[in-house]
Amino acid sequence: MDEMSMKAIASKNNERQFEELVNSTKQWILRTAADASRHYVSESDDEWSIALSAFHEAVQHYNEEKGSFLSLASVVIKRRIVDHIRSQGRYSSEIAVLPDAFEGRLDEDTASGINLKVQEQITRTSMENSTGQTERTREEIAELQEILNGYGFSFFDLAECSPKAVKTKKSCCHAIRTLIASAVLMALMRLKHLLPIRKLSEASGVIRKILERHRKYIIASAEILVGDFPILGEYLRSVREEECNESCNT
């Protein structure tokens, strides 16, 4: 087994060693992402976050029976980049569906009635959207729910933890931008299924109290924006806007 493959196995459940592995292979990851996307990729590009997430996925699934780790990682990274490019073209002209969960407007019983509420969500938008988009919205919510299950909460829990005050929204917005801009922080979150509150607070300047209170909202928003959720992601487009760059720690 080569040295890189041994390091991958050692970093599977070790946060510090995983960070070291990422730092030592950063240029290789960038080149692999660039090859797949057919353009230059820097750490400020979406492809970098996607590639790092795929790299983390490769680490988690690697074992010595699969041959060289870098060979496996290359396949996974290129596959995820290609999927991202295809999804961008497929959904570029579609209309956003705005789930009430992100504004805290769902009834209190939604957490125990996920399927019913998903159906109600689809029904409310069916007059405005085609049958195809309605089905894709249902699929996105279901796929997101599978991811959030790993973190121990539901899509509809967001009704209770979404920020209401303008300053708090801006702070959460800045925290989300910081999180998705750091592939290492995203990988750590996905590795432990926990928001890396201390490191995120240090990186973003947002106080821990806000991060802890709105943990579910930040996690869900980050997973939507980094993942393949073009319809749900449109509702979070304000996170990408310049006015959200400023953090308000109140």
250 residues of the chain, pLDDT tens digit each: 788 999 999 998 888 899 899 999 999 999 998 888 888 888 877 888 889 989 999 999 998 888 889 999 999 999 888 887 777 654 433 333 334 455 444 443 433 333 344 444 444 544 444 555 667 777 888 888 888 888 888 877 777 778 888 889 889 999 999 998 888 898 889 888 899 999 999 999 999 999 999 999 999 999 988 888 887 877 776 665 544 444 444 4
Q: Structural domains in the chain?
A: 3-91 (1.10.1740), 100-158 (no CATH)
- DSSP, collapsed to helix, strand or coil, labels residue 24 as helix
In the prediction, which pLDDT does 104 show? 47
The secondary structure of residue 97, as a DSSP letter, is -
Helix, strand, coil share (%) of the chain residues, nearest 5 = 75, 0, 25
In the prediction, which pLDDT does 239 show? 65
Q: How far is CA 203 from CA 55, 57, 199, in A?
A: 22, 24, 6
Torsion of CA 179, 180, 183, 188, to 10 degrees: 50
**d(C-alpha 218, C-alpha 161), whole Å:** 9
What is the separation, in whole angstroms, between the first and last Cα of the chain? 52
In the prediction, which pLDDT does 102 show? 54
In the prediction, which pLDDT does 110 show? 37
In the prediction, which pLDDT does 200 show? 95
**d(C-alpha 59, C-alpha 69), whole Å:** 8
- Name the amino acid, one letter, at 205: G
In the prediction, which pLDDT does 249 show? 43
1-35 burial, b for 16+ CB within 10 Å, e for fewer? eeeebebbbebbeeeebbeebbeebbeebbebbbe
- DSSP, collapsed to helix, strand or coil, labels residue 38 as coil
Cα angle 15, 78, 183; round to 5: 30
In 10 A of CB 56, how many CB atoms?
25
**d(C-alpha 100, C-alpha 103), whole Å:** 5
- DSSP, collapsed to helix, strand or coil, labels residue 21 as helix
Radius of gyration of the chain from Cα atoms?
19
- DSSP, collapsed to helix, strand or coil, labels residue 215 as helix
**d(C-alpha 240, C-alpha 72), whole Å:** 32
The number of C-alpha atoms within 13 Å of 184 and in the hemisphere containing its C-beta is 16
In the prediction, which pLDDT does 164 show? 82
For the chain, what is the mean pLDDT?
77
